[in-house]
Amino acid sequence: MDKIILTGGGTSGHVTPNLSLLPSLLDSGWEIHYFGTQNGIESKIVPRQFVTYHSIKAGKWRRYFDWKNFIDPINVLIGIMQATVQIRKIKPRVIFSKGGYVSVPVVIAGWLNRVPVIAHESDLTPGLANRISTPFVHQLCTSFEETLNFLPSTKSLHVGSPIREDLLNGDRETGLRLCGFNDQKPIVLILGGSLGSVKLNKCVRDTLPVLLENFQIVHLCGKGKMDNEWIGIEGYKQFEYVDKEMSHIYKITDIAVARSGSNSIFEFLRLRIPSLLIPLPKTASRGDQIINAATFERLGYSKTLLEEHITNEIFVKELFEVYKKRNDYIENMKKAAVPDGKSNILHILKKYKSEV
């Protein structure tokens, strides 16, 4: 049986695209190995019943002073050695990297072992892990076409964003029943990211009396961030996190309010959900979400509200504005040529599979 290694982690955005590939890879007969850290988010959400999971050391570069910045390069070297040993045992035909700091040791170890590495960059500007990895990969795929301007033309390819097939096949009645909603008012989906946004959560709850006069609100607020005061309020449903039910929630969503991580915004584009995007500020990121949001706003798919500009009044005003112009956003999204990222990546990986 042909073997493939998947890697990526640190945030769910570096893991869920890999998960979108799993069913098709399994159906194609691949034996799948996943390389991640021992305690990262990937260790919790990668389904162990379908893959063999390997823990390695990795180093994370922090954009602030931390003594770990001096220690983590050693962890990267240890991770390269650990990955090298495992790769020599597994003998994979190809490695697929979704980025994140855990991917760097795996990519370098793959290159040292002469295993072809296919990497994917979700954001418009390449992240640090993929910038480091670029010399060692055979091909670097992108979600945004504009990303090709930042990468070597000889090894870069625009393929689109890999999206889980189940997200495209939700059931409206199931979604309404899950949230306890009806068809009397439009539905707004609030997404604060996998960890939840404290500022956005507070703003939503502060403005609920006004919002609930006009909308029903489904609020994915993040682990440990549910508010008991609002449990049971008609028209408002909180979840810490949603996985398999997400397709049904998307099916009932009229507009979304969300961070502008690449996975989410390309899901909105594919499903033609107008959105108010509130990107992570530069104080909490490298600014990639700000660039993602600006690009989608320029293309007419969404509207951007910077976190530092948020007040309760501005939030409500901008949300109502997006709803008012939702049909314009939908028409723009209908005109977009959206590549099938999952199928394109699977086609590339298939080239490395031996003939049966």
Once rounded to an integer, what is the mean pLDDT over residues 78-101? Answer: 95
Q: What is the CA radius of gyration of the chain?
A: 21
Q: Which residues contact 88 (CB under 8 A, 6 or more apart)?
A: 113
Tokens 């070297």 correspond to what residue?
77
Annotated binding residues for UDP-N-acetyl-alpha-D-glucosamine: 164, 194, 289
DSSP annotation of 308 reads G
Residue with tokens 């050695």: 81
Q: What is the CATH number of domain 3-160+339-350?
A: 3.40.50.2000
* Six token digits for residue 292: 């993602």
Q: pLDDT by residue (tens digit) across 137-194?
A: 999 999 999 999 999 999 999 999 999 989 999 999 999 999 999 999 999 999 976 5
- Per-residue pLDDT, 189: 98
210-227 pLDDT, tens per residue? Answer: 999 999 999 998 877 777
Residues of the binding site: 164, 194, 289
Instruction: Note the CATH number of domain 166-335.
Output: 3.40.50.2000
List, as one string, the DSSP characters of 327-353: HHHHHHHHHS----HHHHHHHHHHTTS
Model confidence pLDDT, tens digit, residues 257-308: 999 999 999 999 999 999 999 998 876 667 789 999 999 999 999 999 999 9
Residue ranges of the alpha helices (H) in 276-325? 288-298, 312-324
Q: Which two tokens stand for residue 169?
A: 């096949």
| 183 burial type by CB count under 10 A (0-12 exposed, 13-18 middle, 19+ buried) | exposed
Percent of the chain clearing pLDDT 70 (strictly above): 94
166-335 shares the fold of 3-160+339-350: yes
Q: How far apart are CA 4 and CA 54, in angstroms?
A: 13
User: CA 38, CA 48: separation in Å to the nearest integer?
Assistant: 13
Residue at 245: amino acid letter: E
Distance CA 212, CA 99 (A): 40
Rounded Cα distance, 268 and 261, in Å: 11
CA distances for 183 relative to 115, 175, 235, angstroms: 53, 11, 11
Instruction: Give the domain ranges of the chain.
Output: 3-160+339-350, 166-335
Residue 320 binned pLDDT confidence (cut-offs 50, 70, 90): very high
